[in-house]
Amino acid sequence: MVNLSMAQGGRRCAAASPSGGIFRPPEPLPGGTEEAVPTELAGALLQHICNEFTCLAVHRLAPGHPPAGSSVVIRGQGQDGEMTLRSDETSTRTHSGIQVISRAAQILRTIRETPGGLTQSELAHRLGLPRTTIHRILSALEDEELVVSSRGVRGRYRLGPEIARLAESGTGDVVRLIRPFLLDLSARLVETVDLSVLNGGVITFLDQVEAPHRLRAVSAVGESFPLHSCAPGKAILATLTPSRMRQLLPPQLPALTSRTITKFPDLLEQVKEIRETQLAYDYEEQCDGICAAGVAFEVAGQQMAVSVPVPAQRFHGREEECARALLALRDLVAKQEWA
């Protein structure tokens, strides 16, 4: 007997049957004897199934499919390897797989909108889904590094590094071309330098050069911050129209610290100043103890920003130095010919 199971990208994708995962031909093969499906034939079938993304979603994220009562049949005819696959539950499995993918996307979007992360209970409450469903999908997403969690029963889930790698597939050339400028800026200021991109209602970090100091500001690549609370986000907001800003920002601006701007008129006033100076500042508005300066620019049709986050005790008094260095970088980037 052959258990049709194959690892794919670290995941196991199994094609189950009512007989417990073992496929038998429904009638004797030529020669009058019933045999197990040959290994090479089973492998060919499994490869065919695993080429479908829905299969991966169903069998990894919604175990137990196909439902009880479904039938999967292989007919073998001699040595030519001809086979017929029949399932009475194809449409049910496909629908279930699509539903799981949709729920996984809902979870990722909800986490993206909450930079501080969310617990399983919070996600279940916000999405109106059973805790068991949330747990199963999060476990699969975490295995794929699409989310990461802090330790403990009430661990908070954040977007994982694979999100940044996927995002970089569309911006990889730009990231590689800008990185030398980031390295130079970090060397000049001896501080951390971040590259971020507008991603819906947040900015997402694409690249980072860390400062050599033991006390330094570090944000994970792939992490997202609200636009209104951080220097790169406010720098990008200054490049947008007020109507576009309102489309991207939530109705109520959340306070991440006691210094976060939470009133839209106040944010508009600050954005107006940023448009004039071309520089945005964050004075412990995103995180207590961390300040930052940032500039925005457009590359290959994408709104991006470079920022310098610094521990507050080293930032005050260095605003002008950071400003000159950031504006010089922006001018150099503007001179490049981007595809």
pLDDT tens-digit map of 61-77: 444 444 444 444 444 44
Per-residue confidence (pLDDT) for residue 186, from 0 to 100: 95
* pLDDT for the residue numbered 276: 95
Q: How far is it, in rounded angstroms, from Cα 14 to Cα 1? A: 15
Distances (CA, A) of 322 to 56, 114, 171, 191, 260: 48, 29, 26, 10, 21
Q: How many residues does the chain have?
A: 339
Q: Are 205 and 223 in contact (CB under 8 A)?
A: yes
258 contact partners, CB below 8 Å, separation of at least 6: none
> Which two structure tokens, joined as six digits, stand for 150?
């802090």
User: pTM here?
Assistant: 0.56
Quick one: tokens of 191? 């501080």
Cα atoms found within 13 Å of the Cα of residue 32, Cβ hemisphere only: 0
CB atoms within 10 A of CB 269: 11
pLDDT at 335: 85
Task: Report the pLDDT value the prediction gives residue 113, as an integer from 0 to 100.
Answer: 74
- Separation of alpha carbons 162 and 144, rounded Å: 7
Q: Measured between alpha carbons, how far is 73 from 94 in angstroms, rounded to an integer?
A: 18
C-alpha of 282 from chain center: 25
- Residue 121 is predicted with a pLDDT of 92
CB 157 within 8 A of CB 117: yes
Predicted pLDDT of residue 115: 62
Of 3, 103, 16, 23, the closest CA to residue 65 belongs to 16
- What is the model's pLDDT at position 246? 87
Q: Which amino acid is at 337?
A: E
Which tokens in the block code for residue 199? 């991603």
CA distance 80 to 76: 8
**What is the pLDDT at residue 67?**
44
- The tokens describing 256, both together, are 């991440």
- pLDDT at residue 35, as a whole number: 37
Q: In the chain, which stretches have pLDDT less than 50?
A: 1-89, 153
Place of tokens 């709104």: 303
